[in-house]
Amino acid sequence: MKRPDSGAERPQLFAAADLGTTKAKILDAAYRRLAREGYAALSMREIAKDAGVNHALINYHFRTKDQLVIDVLDEANRQLLQRQQQMYRGSGGFADKWAQARRFYETDLASGFVRVQAELWAAGMSNPELREKFLPRIRAWKEVVLGGVREAFATAEACGVKLPAPFSAEVVATWISEFWLGMEFADLIGAREEQVAHRAALDAMERLLERLDAQARKRGTAARRRPSKRRRT
């Protein structure tokens, strides 16, 4: 998710250069309204006014309010998942990637994405149709987290560290994703004590990953120094 420019007064889904179509303008306006005012206060007429389009064009492109907000979430998720996947595929150790994920989170908090996602989560509790559409989007993010944890497990096992059952990659990925979602809600409501505890937990995980990275580097160095065995003739 893009961080608003320094001094920006509003959240944004698209950069100004990407607002060339009516649909993009509507999505961006809806995103900004969701991030500022929430799902319950969302007004199609106000969105049309913000986007500078005729109200009928929202019905033409999206049909319903719920479809509009799901399309907003889909675009935000597309950007988020693309960014996360690039991070996991990139160079650097696991501690570096964890630190990058934390910076991404701060960006998402500032850009309004965390608020938008929480609003749709809450709205889905009383709206079964919205919930049915919303849950697969959350699960897609959890799959990306699981992929990163599986990679960390493989690296740990290559270093001679194997966690006993039932500590699987799936279990650890669940801890991480559910912790992260809980942290988001605490940050949104301004729960100061919880925020301090969450930062300490994030720091602790980063230290743990630094140790794993150090072990991986040590093992890699030892493997490079080990002389290769020649076949006897």
Residue 107 maps to a domain: yes
Whether the Cβ atoms of residue 212 and residue 155 lie closer than 8 Å to each other: yes
Number of domains comprising the chain? 1
How do the pLDDT tens digits run along the chain, 233 residues long? 333 333 344 578 888 878 888 999 999 999 999 999 999 999 999 999 999 999 999 999 998 999 999 999 888 888 888 888 888 787 788 899 999 999 999 988 888 889 998 998 899 999 998 899 889 989 989 998 999 899 889 988 888 888 898 999 999 999 999 999 999 999 999 889 999 999 999 999 999 999 989 988 888 776 656 665 554 44
pTM: 0.78
The CATH number of residue 122's host domain is: 1.10.357
Of 143, 88, 87, 79, nearest in space to 117 by CA: 79
Q: Distance between CA atoms of 187 and 157, rounded to whole angstroms?
A: 35
Whether the Cβ atoms of residue 145 and residue 173 lie closer than 8 Å to each other: yes
Residue 34 maps to a domain: no
Residue 159 maps to a domain: yes
Q: How far apart are the first and last CA of the chain?
A: 60
Q: Distance between CA atoms of 172 and 156, rounded to whole angstroms?
A: 13
Residue 13 maps to a domain: no
Residue 165 maps to a domain: yes
Domain that holds residue 82: 65-225
Residue 166 maps to a domain: yes
- Spacing of C-alpha 189 from chain mean position: 19
Residue 209 maps to a domain: yes
Residue 106 maps to a domain: yes
Q: Distance between CA atoms of 67 and 61, rounded to whole angstroms?
A: 9
